[in-house]
Chain A
Amino acid sequence: MATVELRFSAQPEHVRTARLVAAAVARRAGVEEAVLDEVRLAVGEACSRAVGLHRSHGLTDPVRVVLTEEEKVFSIEVGDGVPGPPGSGDETVPGMAAVLDPDVDGEDEMGLAVISGLVDDVEVTSGESGGVIRMRWPTAGGQDLP
């Protein structure tokens, strides 16, 4: 069961709230202080991406954030409601490519690049009910992820 679950309407102004909640719950779960900046940034990126997807697809559903404290691990899932083919979702365009490719606007393309650069344990899935970004961090007392 989730420790904290958050649903917010797909508006950019709520992403900050999600960041603050995620960082607070991560701190309580025992994620190292030095890593909290990464948690905050990664959740913000995932939520910004979800908000962008909902808005570009005209979805009124909320964005879902599930924060779960497990033994030795703290996990965050950010789910969007935009269906995609199973297994897709890795459309990362690194920052350099965004600069060099005149067709890439850059602003929507770097979120996953940042997440994959920040978080060692990350999984991006996409299915009929939408996409999910799962991220996990070790908590105090458990340095190794299973």
Chain B
Amino acid sequence: MDLSLSTRTVGDRTVVEVGGEIDVYTAPKLREQLVELVNDGSYHLVVDMERVDFLDSTGLGVLVGGLKRVRAHEGSLRLVCNQERILKIFRITGLTKVFPIHTTVDDAVAATD
């Protein structure tokens, strides 16, 4: 399965819906998408991972890279994820302390702190 990406704007937030597998092969596409959004002035991103089937450290690295980019513009990068097998990867790398992780897109879009 390949990676699917779509974006939409909700208020001042940009929601990136990701589906499929994020691995060493597909992660560059996600990186390009995040870089493009930041370059176009979208600094408050919500990455919806509910339709992600697989995530590895390459994908984590891309998300970390995205976070660094938006932070450089005092922006934010929030994740939406309820899947235990995906959440586990964030936990074992300590990244749950770095990314705000929400259960719904609405929650993530409304969050301010």
Contact = CB atoms under 8 A, between A and B. Distances in A.
Contacts of A52: 24
Contacts of B61: 98, 105-110
B56 A95 contact: no
A48 B24 contact: yes
A111 interface: yes
B40 to A, nearest CB: 22
B56 A96 contact: no
Contact of B95 (A12, A51, A96, A111): A96
Contact of B56 (A45, A108, A117): A45
Size category, A interface: 20 to 34
Interface stretch (B6-14, B44-52, B85-93, B105-113): B85-93
A27 interface: no
A80 B25 CA distance: 18
A113 interface: yes
A102 B68 CA distance: 9
Contacts of B58: 48, 107, 111
Q: Which of A37, A102, A107, A117 has the most CB of B within 10 A?
A: A107
Contacts of A105: 61, 65
A131 interface: no
B71 to A, nearest CB: 10
Given A96-B97, A111-B57, A12 B25 contact: yes
A45 to B, nearest CB: 6
